[in-house]
Chains A and B, each alone.
Chain A
Amino acid sequence: MSESARLHVFKTYKLYVGGKFPRSESGRVYEVTDAKGTWLANAPLSSRKDARDAVVAARKAVGGWSGATAYNRGQILYRVAEMLEGRREQFVREVADAEGLSKSKAAAQVDAAVDRWVWYAGWTDKIAQVVGGANPVAGPFFNLSTPEPTGVVAVLAPQESSFLGLVSVIAPVIATGNTAVVVASERAPLPALSLGEVLATSDLPGGVVNVLSGRTAELAAPLAAHQDVNAIDLTGAVADESLAKELEIAAADNLKRVLRPRAEEWATEPDIHRMTAFLETKTVWHPTGALGAAGSSY
């Protein structure tokens, strides 16, 4: 039988929540097309309930993931890069379809995304040294400021850059020990849903990253208002000022940390602001005691 005669096996795209691949509880899907309007797949049209389930999964994963050693988290982020590299062709095809790019341009996006995982993998055990440290207190005390993860972060992934942008907003959130509920690009969700398959096979504990597809505005509203979400990244609402404002107002209810949307150039090397945006600083004090007035002469 010739190649052309063979019928392709379509993939049923599913959500990635709590380490599993459920369909939307709503039973809804929506049609995803390529840049020319050709049908690619039916993606789950997630509901508010799916968003809430994802928050539950992300919350459950916080303890283990934030408590893992930075070395371990770095290993796992690097493992994501390894697994992604192995599936390079799949992602090049999906990104090319999603964004209407040539194969070579799509390949550049995927390569950059792999490298981004490697970049953040190296940050996990360095960020505390860069943004924390001992403070020279004027008194007989020792104190230390340490960055700690904020907790559950809702991430509205960029709408245009379906994969490099997506990786650029997920990796910094989890590198520092947060867990994430990610709303994929509304128009081009397939690379994000496939990323779930990579994450599931990269030793990343279930629930650390949860991927939802559907209407950004519909999913973002319950996430911004959710009392068990600690922070929200509004990047995916950059083109919709009124939505971003509405979400920021909802986020004020429990004083979520908000990363406001701004225009980004995803191809350039990032700085650390996406990590520090979702970190708290804890300062721990202790008396040093006094060993007597005479002092030591070394």
Chain B
Amino acid sequence: MTEMTNTAAGNPFTYAPAPESRAIVDIAPSYGLFIDGEFTESSGQEMVKTVSPATEEVLAEYTQGTGEDVDRAVRAARKAFSTWSALPGAERAKYLFRIARIIQERSRELAVLETLDNGKPIRETRDADLPLVAAHFFYYAGWADKLGHAGFGPNPRPLGVAGQVIPWNFPLLMLAWKIAPALAAGNTVVLKPAETTPLSALFFADICRQAGLPKGVVNIVTGDGRTGEALVTHPGIDKVAFTGSTAVGKAIARQVAGTGKRLTLELGGKGANIVFDDAPIDQAVEGIVTGIFFNQGQVCCAGSRLLVQESIQDELLDALKRRLATLRLGDPLDKNTDIGAINSAEQLARITALARTGEAEGAERWSAPCELPSSGFWFPPTLFTGVTQAHTVARDEIFGPVLSVLSFRTPDEAVAKANNSQYGLSAGIWTEKGSRILAVANKLRAGVVWANTFNKFDPTSPFGGYKESGFGREGGRHGLEAYLDV
């Protein structure tokens, strides 16, 4: 495959750099917490730096929220709940529509910010994250005055104060998934963004200000797992919504037990992307790339296990490697970049360790030929062949640009292997045969099944896992249920 390498100097097809300007974002040197409608200092002293994963440049420092801060935020949310929930739904709807519009107006600014803080390519923040963020607020805005028609009885009530903890892979999108349905249903929220990506949530606080959202309806408390635990265990919240690792999800489920707090969990995955011998190969290759290399594979619903029918394995792998060699890894702010930086040094270490385990257990490793920048956190698109179901790389969620390739002969075998996982979040099916799509989709134990496509999202569509990928759904009318007393 080396002849396909395009990083070599002198390649006539080399792109000129096309960097997006970062001048559009004005990042303050230091951030406090957003509680009761205003930025405020913490009761503690601890400040943390957030860096750009692509350069390790310090972007800003932010506050490590304390238990006392969480308590203040929950009280503010509780106080705001009585008036917010009593507002006519049509009024709540208008606030959400306003927020959606402001997100659209500030979309470019937020896309650049998200790329700086997260390391994902601007192409993704601009074309995927931000449009979906706005779409979620638009979608749930329309529910706010129609809750009686959502199928949960004539007068469904909000739960109260929601404590929401979100991950670093889609910082603003996960915020939208959590906050939009919560507010539409009449709840107030305290949200903790991830410790490596706090900035876009703090910018969202400013959007709430611009929208004139009543004080205390949205509160943002930054910090690490300690802050998250203080929030989840706070007796003043009525609902916990968490997206993140399965291990933390289980811990939260135990903490919430016996408290009566409602709980929804969106956890890990090890999605199977199944390619049958009659699949359109070029489209399948694109789907495999989207499935595992979108957001550097740091996606819970990533198609991280490729199940390919044995008869086309060689052909498919050749085509896949050829395609991977054309992926452009580098500056996330460059509009031509396909593969950005890994979100943190810690995550890079985890990916690196799991890839080493894959080699140590005898799987064959292949990485796309690309130069890695000298600073920042980087991992090349990588695939493992000769993988069996017992291999660690076929079982554990790697949460990085690492694809494990397994083969199968019959549809039954494909289904059995796909379902042989503690997880059940996503799956893909590639075949031209409609009846096979339906038969296989029917048998897969996964909350989202993409047939002849992958990693598509839409606010109208329920998303969530089977088995240990968590419970509850986000998106659609199902996503409202999580915030209503039904």
Contact = CB atoms under 8 A, between A and B. Distances in A.
Interface string B453-486: 1001010111110111011010010100000001
Interface in B79-122: none
A165 B453 CA distance: 46
Given A137-B461, A281-B447, A284-B451, A244 B466 contact: no
B449 A255 contact: no
A139 B456 contact: yes
Contacts of A137: 456, 458, 460-461
Nearest to A130: B151
B452 A248 contact: no
A255 B453 contact: no
B453 A287 contact: yes
A249 interface: yes
B467 A271 contact: no
A249 B464 contact: no
B470 A283 contact: no
Contact of B460 (A135, A252, A280): A135
B335 to A, nearest CB: 22
A136 interface: yes
B448 interface: yes
Interface string B424-452: 00000000000001000100101111111
Q: How large is the interface on B (under 10, 10 to 19, 20 to 34, 35 or more residues)?
A: 35 or more
B461 A257 contact: no
The secondary structure that dominates the A interface is: mixed
Which of A130, A136, A257, A284 has the most chain B CB atoms closer than 10 A to its own CB?
A284
Contacts of B74: none
B257 interface: yes
B31 to A, nearest CB: 33
A86 B456 CA distance: 53
Interface string A212-250: 000000000000000000100000000001101100110
Contacts of A286: 437, 451-453
Give the bracket for the number of chain A residues in contact with chain B: 35 or more
Contacts of A60: none
Nearest to B444: A282
Contact of A245 (B257, B422, B473): B257
A264 interface: no
Contacts of A281: 447, 462, 464, 473, 478
A141 interface: yes
Contacts of B470: 255
Contacts of A25: none
* B246, B458, B464, B473 — most chain A CB neighbours (10 Å): B458
Contacts of B486: 273
Interface in B137-185: 151, 153
Given A150-B466, A282-B441, 19 more contacts: A135-B461, A138-B135, A141-B453, A141-B456, A143-B461, A145-B462, A249-B254, A252-B250, A254-B422, A254-B468, A255-B249, A255-B467, A271-B153, A280-B447, A281-B447, A281-B462, A283-B448, A284-B441, A285-B451
Interface of B: 135, 151, 153, 246, 249-250, 253-254, 257-258, 260, 265, 267, 422, 437, 441, 444, 446-453, 456, 458, 460-464, 466-468, 470-471, 473, 476, 478, 486
15 contacts: A135-B476, A137-B456, A143-B458, A143-B461, A145-B462, A145-B478, A249-B258, A252-B254, A254-B422, A254-B467, A255-B249, A282-B466, A283-B449, A284-B448, A287-B452
